């Protein structure tokens, strides 16, 4: 049997394998691969841990403080009383007619400026003129009767005087003397009666002339026409009440704001207090005003009692119009350069504070309260004396208070959604 010769490369491979097995070199190679794999795993683990620590530190560093704080500020504080009201002219007049009749002419219209005694409208005067003429004629008639009465008086007086002389000489009877005297006295009465009738006729004429004058309607003030409620040819009936033909307003450059103040705020407001108000037409603008009068008559609407308060308004720009609704803020107190804190800082209590036994000794007066600040990461109380408040900020007084000092106002939630130690605890009311 012949043996097939093998290539030299295959022979060398088998030879190296035998040598390696003889010397144990294969185990050495396997150990080196195992060590290399564990090293890679260790390096990866170190990197993962390092990255985790870095992320953890970033998260911890980015977490907010356990407490929310605000800084004390220095500034001015004003206490106001809010109300609503309506703008009206200082003097608004309804012009009507005392007579019934037909409107003949109308001389003015809406927004026309008028002067005192200017003609606004006229009624038809035909019937009034006729009555005035009749009254004038009646007066002339009574004046003529007076002349007749006076002549009769003269005649009877002379006759009475002659009869007296004759009776003194016994040439006239006693009856003739009495008749002459009676006629004289009647003549005197007729004169007086004629004078009275003349006065009555003159009064009637004056009344008719006055009605004739009233047929021409004049402006009682200098002002502007707010409303015109009549047209030519319209019939006016003034039987039971005076019909309003025009509404006039005095100079609109000065107006009055009629505000309704709640009874609970009446102790705070006084005449002379300044105020500001806004109207819907100019929502971003505040107009100045000042209290000029406080009415004592209460107004009750749905159980709410208010008092009408009048405020003067400068409307020189003529931006405001009668009837506009205004929201008013009346300044009752003002303090300048005060230390101010938000009201929630006065209501805040840190965790673990016993509300019943907390610093009652420090808060022995009504104006004493506590605010809290942080020192070395822990809440520390500060006793302050509270002053004025506008409902959002309050004036406080205490030694050592400076602008910029942080005060605790609330606890905040952690990143995991868990409540901070202050959540769920009661807070003091201001």
Q: 215 pLDDT exceeds 50?
A: yes
Structural tokens at position 281: 């037409």
pLDDT at res. 256: 96
Residue corresponding to tokens 């009646």: 138
Give per-residue pLDDT as tens, 8-34. Answer: 455 444 545 554 454 454 554 555 555
Name which CATH class applies to 67-75+338-411.
Answer: mainly beta
Q: Average pLDDT of 35-55?
A: 62
Query: Which one is predicted more confidently, 225 or 411?
Result: 225
* Per-residue confidence (pLDDT) for residue 145, from 0 to 100: 92
Helix H or strand E encompassing 372? strand 368-375
Closest CA to 258 of 312, 219, 297: 312
Neighbours of 73 (CB within 10 A): 14
Is the pLDDT score of 78 beyond 60?
yes
Mean pLDDT, residues 287-301 taken together: 95
Identify the weakest region by mean pLDDT among 14-18, 209-213, 415-419.
415-419
Asked if residue 318 has pLDDT above 80, the reply is yes
Please give the pLDDT value at position 8: 44
Strand-pair partners of 85: 259, 326
Determine what percent of the chain is predicted with pLDDT higher than 70.
77
Whole-number Å distance between alpha carbons of 109 and 229: 10
Is the CATH number 1.10.287.470 carried by domain 125-214? yes
Mean pLDDT of the chain, nearest integer: 82
pLDDT higher for 36 or 370?
370
How would residue 1 be classed by pLDDT, with cut points 50, 70 and 90? very low
pLDDT at residue 425 is higher than 60: no
Kindly provide the b/e burial profile for residues 237-269, where b requires at least 16 CB atoms within 10 angstroms of the residue's own CB: eeeeeebebbbbbbebeebbbebbbeeebbeeb
Position 412 scores a pLDDT of 54
Among 159-168, 232-241, 343-352, 404-413, which is the least confidently predicted range? 404-413
Tell me what percent of the residues of the chain surpass a pLDDT of 90.
51
* Residue with the larger pLDDT of the pair 259 and 38: 259
Out of 168-177, 296-305, 383-392, give the one with best mean pLDDT.
Answer: 296-305
The yes-or-no verdict on residue 423 having pLDDT over 80 is: no
For residue 390, the model assigns a pLDDT of 83
* DSSP SS3 for 245: strand
Whether CATH 2.40.30.170 fits 81-90+249-335: yes
Q: In what order do the strands lie in the sheet with 216-218?
A: 216-218, 119-123, 101-106, 235-236
Look at 267 and 48; give whichever has higher pLDDT. Answer: 267
Rounded mean pLDDT of 188-193? 94
Task: Tell me: pLDDT of 173 over 70.
Answer: yes
**Overall pTM surpassing 0.85 (yes/no):** no
Q: What is the pLDDT, as a whole number, of residue 57?
A: 52
- 263 backbone φψ class: left, alpha, beta (φ>0; ψ -120 to 50): alpha
Q: For residue 177, what are its two tokens?
A: 């003397």
Average pLDDT of 255-277? 94
**Is the per-residue pLDDT at 151 higher than 90?**
yes
pLDDT of residue 282: 95
Least confident of 312-316, 329-333, 423-427: 423-427
- Distances from the Cα of 285 to the Cαs of 186, 327, 334, in angstroms? 84, 12, 21
Does the pLDDT of residue 82 top 50, yes or no?
yes
Structure-model confidence comparison of residues 356 and 395, the more confident one: 395
Give the dihedral of Cα atoms 149, 153, 159, 165; nearest 10 deg: 170
Q: How far apart, in whole angstroms, are the C-alpha atoms of residue 313 and residue 326?
A: 12
pLDDT at 77: 87
């Amino acid at each position: 049997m012949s043996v097939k010769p093998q290539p030299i490369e295959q022979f060398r491979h088998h030879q190296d394998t035998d040598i390696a097995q003889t010397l144990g070199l294969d185990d050495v190679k396997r150990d080196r691969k195992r060590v290399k794999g564990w090293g890679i795993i260790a390096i990866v683990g170190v990197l993962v841990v390092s990255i985790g620590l870095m992320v953890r530190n970033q998260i911890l560093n980015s977490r907010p403080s356990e407490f929310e704080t605000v800084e004390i500020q220095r500034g001015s504080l004003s206490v106001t009383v809010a109300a609503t009201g309506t703008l009206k002219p200082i003097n608004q007049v309804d012009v009507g007619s005392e007579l019934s009749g037909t409107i003949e002419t109308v001389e003015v219209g809406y927004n026309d400026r008028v002067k005192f005694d200017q003609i606004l409208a006229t009624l038809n005067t035909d019937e009034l003129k006729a009555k005035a003429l009749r009254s004038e004629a009646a007066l002339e008639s009574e004046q003529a009767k007076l002349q007749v009465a006076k002549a009769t008086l003269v005649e009877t007086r002379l006759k009475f005087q002659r009869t007296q002389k004759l009776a003194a000489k016994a040439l006239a009877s006693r009856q003739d003397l009495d008749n002459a005297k009676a006629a004289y006295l009647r003549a005197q009465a007729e004169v007086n009666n004629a004078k009275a009738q003349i006065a009555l006729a003159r009064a009637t004429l004056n009344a008719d002339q006055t009605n004739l004058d009233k047929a021409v309607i004049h402006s009682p003030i200098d002002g502007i026409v707010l409303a015109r409620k009549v047209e030519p040819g319209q019939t006016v009936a003034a039987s039971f009440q005076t019909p309003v033909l025009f509404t006039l307003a005095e100079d609109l450059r000065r107006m009055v704001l009629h505000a309704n103040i709640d009874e609970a705020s009446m102790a705070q407001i006084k005449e002379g207090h300044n105020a500001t108000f806004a109207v819907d037409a100019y929502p971003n603008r505040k107009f100045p005003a000042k209290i000029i009068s406080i009415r004592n008559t209460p107004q009750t609407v749905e159980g709410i009692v208010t008092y009408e308060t009048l405020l003067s308004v400068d409307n020189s720009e003529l931006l405001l119009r009668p009837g506009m609704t205004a929201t008013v803020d009346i300044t009752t107190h003002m303090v300048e350069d005060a230390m101010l804190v938000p009201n929630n800082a006065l209501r805040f209590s840190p965790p673990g504070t016993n509300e019943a036994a907390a610093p009652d000794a420090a808060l022995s007066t009504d104006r004493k309260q506590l605010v809290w600040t942080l020192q070395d990461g822990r809440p520390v109380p500060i006793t302050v004396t509270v002053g004025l408040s506008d409902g959002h900020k309050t004036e406080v007084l205490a030694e050592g208070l400076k602008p910029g000092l942080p005060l605790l106002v609330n606890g905040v939630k952690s990143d995991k959604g868990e409540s901070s130690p202050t959540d769920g605890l009661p807070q003091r009311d201001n």
